[in-house]
Amino acid sequence: MNRQNQTSSPVVTKRLDVICLADVQEREISWLWKPYIPSGKITILEGDPESGKTFLSLEIAAHVTTGRTLPMYHGEPGRMSEARNVMFMTAEDDLADTILPRFRNAGGDPSKFFSIEGIIKSQNNTDVPLGITLSDIESLNEGMKQHHPAMLIVDPFQAFIGAKVDFHRSNEVRPVMQGIGKLAAEYGCAVVLIRHLAKAAYGNALYKGIGSIDIIAAARSVLRAGINPQVQAIGELSCVNPNSCAMYSAPEGNRFVIVHTKCNVAQKGTSIAYKIVDGKLSLDGAVSVTVDDLQRGTTALPARKSAVQFLNEQLASGQSKNSAGLFSAASRLGISESTLRRASNELNIKKAPSGFGKSWSWSLLPVEVECTPPVLDVPSADAGQLRS
């Protein structure tokens, strides 16, 4: 065989990629919301179902798309320089009936909010819609290049990890986190990954979120959302003598708190209380709640008391809900159907059939408060005669 006709194999060489620290241009940390969400880095927003994580992310996104300053609870005040775009990935909520109404209620600008629905593959002059994962860095890079978002929200994170990636294996999760981190840094985009908490109990609060420990390690900031353990809402009583009236819980919406559990680039921020009323979230200000308080508050309540509180919140303001939906929502919070039924017997709940083959409708009736008339210490005529 003629060696001249042989195709030579390409020569592959390797070299170590080294950067001298003297060649690095120093810069300050930039913030989307100081000190909670740094720009160009990954932030984890975690919490149990029904804790308002999506509401909270949309509230922040609304501020970003309109250039409104997010509240600052310590340090120098921060200001949005301009209205910026937000990119969004969701696998749980519908855009038309859930995301858009919530975003509008928060005062956001829909023209600066872009939802990533997947990847479109063109084949034989036909567009084929495909799903997307966080491993599709090339496609996400194109989206970043086109829209230049200040914030990317992934809700929930585990839904976009990819079918071939085990969410609990470090060696599989680590490359995904590294890819997202590099993308965030390149575009100065704050990436907020929303995830649920694990059912198992952990001594260290940082390990409470589901998935590999590499997730929490890659995040520069971690926020925990949950029920505010300090709130004990009492219903308003139209009674001249409150000491003789039966008190009952009737909270105005759901009361929650954000606790800053980790921050590698600044001092952790104070905890913030917030509430959700009639589909709108409002921040109530700083509170002295720690992550230990949050964990004790959500786990120490007896099952029956927790079920009673749940029903009071769900059926507040005289609204009625079907029992199947209540059982489903309660189950996600660890409240069994039997416990919920027993709790309903303690409250003044009206149960009515909704029709053949349908679940029953439950509604919380107002508590009839009976007041004992005050006893006036007025001496009678006879008593006066005896004293005289």
- In degrees, rounded to 5, the angle at the alpha carbon of residue 122 between the alpha carbons of residues 120 and 125 is 140
The yes/no answer on whether domain 302-374 falls in CATH 1.10.10.10 is: yes
Q: Classify domain 28-227+254-300 at the CATH class level.
A: alpha beta
Say which residues have a Cβ less than 8 Å from residue 262's Cβ, sequence separation at least 6. Answer: 206, 216, 219, 221, 222, 268
- 85, 91, 97, 101 alpha-carbon torsion, rounded to 10°: -30
Q: Report the share of the chain in percent with pLDDT over 90.
A: 40
Indicate the SS3 state at residue 363: strand
- Does residue 248 carry a pLDDT above 50? no
DSSP for 42-77, written as a single string:
EEEEEE-TTS-HHHHHHHHHHHHHHTPPPP--SSS-
Q: How confident is the model at residue 238 (pLDDT cuts 50, 70, 90)?
A: very low
**pLDDT for residue 19:** 94
> Strands 85-90, 42-47: parallel, antiparallel or unpaired by DSSP?
unpaired
Supply 248's token pair.
């009952």
**pLDDT for residue 78:** 56
The model's pLDDT over 316-360, given as tens digits with 9 standing for 90+, comes to: 766 788 888 888 777 766 678 888 888 888 887 888 887 766 778
- In degrees, rounded to 5, the angle at the alpha carbon of residue 329 between the alpha carbons of residues 325 and 334 is 140
Q: How many CA atoms lie within 13 A of 74 on its CB side?
A: 11
End-to-end CA distance of the chain: 142
Domain boundaries, the chain: 28-227+254-300, 302-374
**pLDDT for residue 251:** 42
Task: Classify residue 97 by its DSSP letter.
Answer: I
**pLDDT for residue 243:** 36
Mean pLDDT value across residues 108-112 = 97
Please name which of 377, 381, 343 lies closest in space to residue 362, comparing C-alpha atoms.
343
Q: Which has the minimum average pLDDT: 64-68, 211-215, 329-333, 361-365?
A: 329-333
> Strands 119-123, 37-38: parallel, antiparallel or unpaired by DSSP?
unpaired
- Does residue 34 carry a pLDDT above 60? yes
Mean pLDDT value across residues 231-236 = 43
pTM of the model: 0.69
- Does residue 239 carry a pLDDT above 70? no
